[in-house]
Amino acid sequence: MSHILSLNTFKKADDFFWTQKIKLCELDSVCFHWADSDESCLNLLKLIEKNPQLKEEYQNKVNSLNALKGIPIWIKSKRRVTESNMFDLYQDHILGEKPLPISSRIEVSFLSGHGPFDSIVLSELFHPVMYQEFVMVLLLTGQLSRRSFRLRFKTRLLLEQNHSVHLVNLEQMSPHGILLSSEKPIIEGRVNFFLDHAILNETKGMNLSEMKSYLFSKANNFLYSAQAAARISINTKGIKSQIKFDFMKRKLYYYFVNFDRFDNPHAAQTLQDFVKHSKELIEESLLEAS
């Protein structure tokens, strides 16, 4: 059985399993969260069933979300007024069953189907913490698709297209590729982005403590570079973007780029090796904590 968050690897703390993450850099520029692996989701479910204290804590979370069913809301469109509740509004939006952009302005009433109605941006109805807890419960119950192992990043990269340069965000890295987000759409065709993969190559053979210290010694945007050696060219033809809005109402374009699109096989292999090595270090860390 996988050791990613395997049974008995949790050290109990207040609300621990909702915030559990392992930092690979003390600056929090790269980390792993239990929700970022289908294996850890399944193992966490088993742990909840075996641990009465965690089971009670989990049930309290579920109960607090279910309480939102008691908050009615009426949504007015041009054709009709639809009655719903806050629970269904959260769940339908997260599952994409009624894919209104989070920046959508809608007419709502909390009193009755006759109003009064107020014009409000959808994101203003959602609390970021409550939204996150919904996502976690839906992942654990299998209602939301679980994901294969990946790492979360907080770093910005340069992207060059059409003889202009702008910043993009490196959001995630998996064994198969990277997830980028941008406030501007990326063109379809040949573009370049700059990522200092040599830094990741230096982490080979390091233990978790050594990796944390090494990456901590770098800048917060430790993969940022403008050097020619960091340039990676990709063909974006056929890559579909996903448009999302965050709680700051910013419009972001998300692009998943497979490693086989990299024109630099060495860079692709370096990133794949870093993900693989990081997964091994995370498993070792959790075994030691058990």
Give 247-274 pLDDT, tens digit per residue.
666 778 999 999 999 999 999 999 999 9
Which are the contacts of 6, defined by CB distance < 8 A and separation ≥ 6? 43, 286, 287, 290
Stretch among 204-208, 214-218, 233-237 having the lowest mean pLDDT: 214-218
- Confidence class of residue 26 from pLDDT cuts 50, 70 and 90? confident
pLDDT of 154: 92
- Confidence class of residue 13 from pLDDT cuts 50, 70 and 90? very low
- Which domains can be identified in the chain, with CATH numbers? 38-146 (no CATH), 151-289 (2.40.10)
Alpha helices in 96-196 (DSSP H): 128-140
Span 74-78, mean pLDDT?
90
pLDDT of 207: 93
DSSP character at residue 186: P
Neighbours of 53 (CB within 10 A): 9
Condensed to tens digits (0 to 9), the pLDDT of residues 125-144 reads 888 888 888 998 999 998 99
Instruction: Decide if pLDDT at 14 tops 50.
Output: no
Give backbone dihedrals phi and psi of 189, rounded to 5 degrees, phi first.
145, -155
Radius of gyration (C-alpha) of the chain in whole angstroms: 21
pLDDT of 248: 60
Instruction: Decide if pLDDT at 68 tops 50.
Output: yes
Span 38-44, mean pLDDT?
84
pLDDT of 174: 96
pLDDT of 109: 95
Stretch among 101-105, 172-176, 202-206, 263-267 having the lowest mean pLDDT: 101-105
Span 50-66, mean pLDDT?
89
3-state secondary structure of 158: strand
Neighbours of 69 (CB within 10 A): 12
Instruction: Decide if pLDDT at 11 tops 70.
Output: no
pLDDT of 249: 63
pLDDT of 47: 82
- Confidence class of residue 12 from pLDDT cuts 50, 70 and 90? very low
Which of the two residues, 35 and 72, has the higher pLDDT score? Answer: 72
pLDDT of 1: 39
